């Protein structure tokens, strides 16, 4: 095809708006999301900011609030929270053009499978966003760290990959997306720690006590993965099995060994922190909850993940601004509390 690809982003929150805004330089993009942010983008345009590049003002984006707006798309990027994946499949079913390709850019392990079950007539590919994006204004999103998008290596992905690269997105096609998703889950276990800390990611990861909480979660996850025969892909300089040990290093040594992990924008925070701040349900059940369930299926304990999940649910119930902010030593002690 000679024309630019038509791309719909279904669930255009922070990540979805970032992807759609970047792609708009090389594709015909429609953002489908909540009424308030879509109205703000229609009125003011979308502002993108991030590491190593100038602010980008994107105007003329098509915005919508319903799945029908994806009807003519060549590609549909699904960026809803994991708890909404089945509903997304139901809403998109019967509305997509023949041959439309769906790409899941979501956290967790099972979203592509759920979309395939709901959209059997369409090719569904797995994707992964390695960096964090937060909303910095009603019509603005900020990318806080770097990395390349990963998408399942399939012929149907090639045209999308070309458009993404033309729009300025680093992207690689990967042959082992289940391994990639498992590795991303290991990293995303920090979302709960960061959300409960209330601190920017760079500050939180720079503190050994917070890292010790994450290391416990990762050890439980790695044990569950081994029992299930899941092999996390190596996405960085270290094998996944080394990550908990590195997290336990003293701060000075950690800064030397894991300098890349701390090369994060000072404003960067996890999406779970943003959800708590805005009074929205978090994805903790698709992250810590995934480890808890997988461990249980193989007769293994996952107390650190269970305790953090419970604390995040307490914070959800507290509402915007009401959640406790935990220091590193307090959070680590909470993992050892008798009721943990």
Q: Report pTM.
A: 0.93
CATH code of the domain covering residue 153: 3.40.50.720
**Do 210 and 165 share a structural domain?**
no
**Do 149 and 118 share a structural domain?**
yes
Among 85-89, 100-104, 258-262, 306-310, which stretch is predicted with the lowest mean pLDDT? 258-262
Using CA atoms, how far apart are residues 141 and 126, in angstroms rounded to an integer? 23
Residue 311 has, within 13 A of its CA and on its CB side, a CA count of 29
pLDDT-based confidence at 1, cuts 50/70/90? low
**Do 225 and 171 share a structural domain?**
no
Query: Does any domain span residue 316?
Result: yes
Query: Does any domain span residue 241?
Result: yes
**Do 251 and 129 share a structural domain?**
no
Bridge partners of 75? 7, 101
**Do 105 and 30 share a structural domain?**
yes
Sequence-distant (≥ 6) Cβ neighbours of residue 274 within 8 angstroms: 14, 134, 135
Sequence-distant (≥ 6) Cβ neighbours of residue 94 within 8 angstroms: none
Query: Does any domain span residue 1?
Result: no
Query: Does any domain span residue 217?
Result: yes
Q: How many structural domains does the chain have?
A: 2
Query: Does any domain span residue 143?
Result: yes
Listed residues 127, 155, 175: the one ending a domain: 175
pLDDT-based confidence at 258, cuts 50/70/90? confident
Listed residues 124, 148, 175: the one ending a domain: 175
pLDDT tens digits, one per residue of 144-186: 888 899 999 999 999 999 999 999 999 999 999 999 999 999 9
Query: Mean pLDDT across the chain, nearest whole number?
Result: 94
**Do 220 and 137 share a structural domain?**
no
Q: Find tokens 């994946």 and name the residue.
A: 85
Helix (H, G, I), strand (E, B) or coil at 253: helix
pLDDT tens digits, one per residue of 206-252: 999 999 999 999 999 999 999 999 999 998 888 999 999 999 999 99
**Do 288 and 189 share a structural domain?**
yes
Selection from 128, 230, 243, 225 nearest residue 174 by Cα: 128
Query: Does any domain span residue 190?
Result: yes
pLDDT tens digits, one per residue of 115-150: 999 999 999 999 999 988 988 899 999 998 888 999
**Do 298 and 167 share a structural domain?**
no
Listed residues 175, 196, 230: the one ending a domain: 175
Contact between residue 5 and residue 97 where contact means Cβ atoms under 8 Å apart: no
CATH code of the domain covering residue 286: 1.10.1040.10
Contact between residue 30 and residue 71 where contact means Cβ atoms under 8 Å apart: no
pLDDT of residue 338: 66
Contact between residue 33 and residue 63 where contact means Cβ atoms under 8 Å apart: yes
**Do 184 and 163 share a structural domain?**
no
**Do 183 and 170 share a structural domain?**
no
Query: Does any domain span residue 340?
Result: no
Two tokens at 187?
A: 């990293």
Buried b (16+ CB within 10 A) or exposed e, 297-335: eeebebebbbbbbebbeebbeeeeeebeebebeebbebb
Two tokens at 136?
A: 């910095």
Using CA atoms, how far apart are residues 245 and 185, in angstroms rounded to an integer? 17
pLDDT of residue 339: 59
Helix (H, G, I), strand (E, B) or coil at 106: coil
- Gap between the terminal Cα atoms of the chain: 57
pLDDT of residue 261: 67
- The residue range of the domain holding 159 is 6-175
Query: Does any domain span residue 259?
Result: yes
**Do 312 and 207 share a structural domain?**
yes
**Do 209 and 225 share a structural domain?**
yes
């Amino acid at each position: 095809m000679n024309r630019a690809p038509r791309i719909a982003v279904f669930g255009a929150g922070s990540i979805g708006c970032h992807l759609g805004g970047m792609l708009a330089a090389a594709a015909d993009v429609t953002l489908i999301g909540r009424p308030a942010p879509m109205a703000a983008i229609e009125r003011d345009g979308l502002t993108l900011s991030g590491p190593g590049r100038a602010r980008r003002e994107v105007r003329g984006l098509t915005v919508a609030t319903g799945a029908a707006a994806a009807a003519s798309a060549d590609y549909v990027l699904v960026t809803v929270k994991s708890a909404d994946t089945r509903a997304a499949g139901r809403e998109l079913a019967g509305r997509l053009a023949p041959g439309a390709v769906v790409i899941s850019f979501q956290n967790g392990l099972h979203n592509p499978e759920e979309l395939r079950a709901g959209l059997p007539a369409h090719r569904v590919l797995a994707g992964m966003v390695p960096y964090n994006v937060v909303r910095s204004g009603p019509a603005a999103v900020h990318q806080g760290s770097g990395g390349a998008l990963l998408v399942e290596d399939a012929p149907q992905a090639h045209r999308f990959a070309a458009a993404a690269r033309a729009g300025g997105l680093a992207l690689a096609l990967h042959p082992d997306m289940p391994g990639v998703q498992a590795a991303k889950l290991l990293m995303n276990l920090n979302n709960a720690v960061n959300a409960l800390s209330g601190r920017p990611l760079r500050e939180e990861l720079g503190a050994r006590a917070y890292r010790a909480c994450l290391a416990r979660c990762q050890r439980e996850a790695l044990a569950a993965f081994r029992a299930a025969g899941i092999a996390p892909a190596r996405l960085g300089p270290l094998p996944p099995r080394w990550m908990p040990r590195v997290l336990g290093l003293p701060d000075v040594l950690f800064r030397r060994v894991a300098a890349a992990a701390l090369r994060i924008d000072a404003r960067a925070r996890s999406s779970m922190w943003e959800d708590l701040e805005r009074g929205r349900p978090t994805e903790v059940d698709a992250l810590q909850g995934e480890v808890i369930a997988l461990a249980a299926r193989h007769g293994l304990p996952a107390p650190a993940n269970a305790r953090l999940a419970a604390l995040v649910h307490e914070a959800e119930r507290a509402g915007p601004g009401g959640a406790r902010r935990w220091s590193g030593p307090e959070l680590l002690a909470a993992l050892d509390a008798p009721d943990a």
